[in-house]
Structure 1
């Protein structure tokens, strides 16, 4: 029996691994085969609204992640993963909204023991990029409204590149499982925010976590790093407030050779309360 922690998107029965084809199937003979890129689609309807990430957006993000600016965050998350207790039996890790798999690849290297790694996203082209970069684990295309996993099946869920919303992560987490979530702090990209909001005020961050979760540990990552004009422009284009950026602001940034920018995140270790 090659039971998987996956539920069939059609009938909700548990999926099994078909070793010969490397595909999935359930007792009702529903089959899910990987694409040529190695991505499994667990969508049953084309009505599901998928995210669309342009090539330019992906290239910009990959350029920034590869630059080393996010290394302090990666090191902190990896250290938290490495401190998790080792247990017997199969261990399953879900990287929620894994995008192109950058953080998933980093976490795989930090695990003390063999884990089964799963990356799920609703951005098809980002998953194809993750597969192209040989991201370890199985990559799943699915909707975040209903994660394609069985109840209480995950030992660890990482939420690094997306807000933690709804109850789905809590549903698929084991009773003794852990969630690691990364939240940008109010001082994150502070110097860039000041360009857009001249009268910006520093206010404490309000943690809006789903009910049923408790904070076991919190690590604040705060580092000031020198960035190039192009990196500053790219950081702005990726930020949640990018819609406020106009051509004059971009021109102003490109006139600067370099600038110091604060990077600030809260890394939380959560468990079921």
Structure 2
């Protein structure tokens, strides 16, 4: 199975190798074999057996672990917790005009374990690219979803040449707007999703009853976005869903909130959480 995934990934990457550049020296990349690419300066990168390429240029040790990514995968595949968001994003992408003779290239910047990108691009002719600094997430993504291209990489040193991507998704994840502007096509679209005050409020109240968990102010986020992109539309999206017994453990562990909760607080969530609020804002922009 792993050989099949690596070969399939190599075939996908080979078709679009011209879109990449070396994150070390910024020169063009070439495919040397089914499991190996390198740039014209001979910096080389291997395809892992799961099918992803690690483009990290520095050591990174994060707190995002397999438990978090597994919880997120479970909640996304076993519930409709983000279905309204996925539908909204897919509608925007469908309305985005491009040369119909060429596939739409969509990057999920901060792809995690890959399910959102898979659900957004499934049954479409789009080419999905997923990048995340967390190796655990990308390894899980590439092990499961073989219709997309997966990279471990730093958004500050992404492996894309200038002006290659039609759409950049940045969903509940840190941004690098200067880099987004560099790798987007001149008429490219950016869709950024940010949490609002009521996002997961039931979970926060049970896990952190004495702490006001920080969410960046809306104006601060909007100012940063507008400094780099033309804001076309800002769309609020709020809804509440019932929480089933199957969902509860995944909801607890799908975000870093659980890192700060005591065993007593986690037990309280398992016993008491009956609904969850999704409160988001979708910022849609164009490159300046």
Give the alignment partner of residue 91 of structure 2, picking from 79, 85, 107. 79
Q: CA deviation at 1:31?
A: 4.0
TM-score, normalised by the number of residues in structure 1: 0.84
Alignment of 1:54-203 (within 5 A): 54-68=65-79, 69-87=81-99, 88-89=101-102, 91-109=104-122, 111=124, 114-195=125-206, 196-197=208-209
CA distance in structure 1 between the partners assigned to 2:210 and 2:42 by the alignment: 60
Say whether the 8 Å CA contact 1:218–1:266 is kept in structure 2.
yes
CA distance in structure 2 between the partners assigned to 1:270 and 1:242 by the alignment: 32
Q: Provide the secondary structure at the position in 2 that maps to 1:191.
A: helix
Alignment deviations for residues 77-109 of structure 1 (CA, whole Å, 9 cap, x no partner): 222222211325453221112111101111222
Alignment deviations for residues 30-49 of structure 1 (CA, whole Å, 9 cap, x no partner): 443312211112234xx421
Structure 1 residues 38 and 240: CA distance shift in structure 2, 3 A: closer
Say whether the 8 Å CA contact 2:23–2:157 is kept in structure 1.
no
Q: CA deviation at 1:199?
A: 9.2
Structure 1 residues 130 and 50: CA distance shift in structure 2, 3 A: same
Q: RMSD in angstroms over aligned alpha carbons?
A: 2.9
Say whether the 8 Å CA contact 2:69–2:112 is kept in structure 1.
no
Structure 2 gap ranges (5+): 1-13
**Matching residue of 2:286:** 271
CA distance in structure 1 between the partners assigned to 2:151 and 2:217 by the alignment: 36
Q: Provide the secondary structure at the position in 1 that maps to 2:122.
A: helix
Q: Provide the secondary structure at the position in 1 that maps to 2:29.
A: strand
**Matching residue of 1:216:** 232
Structure 1 gap ranges (5+): none
Give the alignment partner of residue 33 of structure 1, picking from 26, 46, 52. 46
Query: How many residues are matched?
Result: 267
Say whether the 8 Å CA contact 1:120–1:142 is kept in structure 2.
yes
Structure 1 residues 261 and 116: CA distance shift in structure 2, 3 A: closer
**Matching residue of 2:8:** none
Give the alignment partner of residue 7 of structure 1, picking from 13, 21, 33. 21
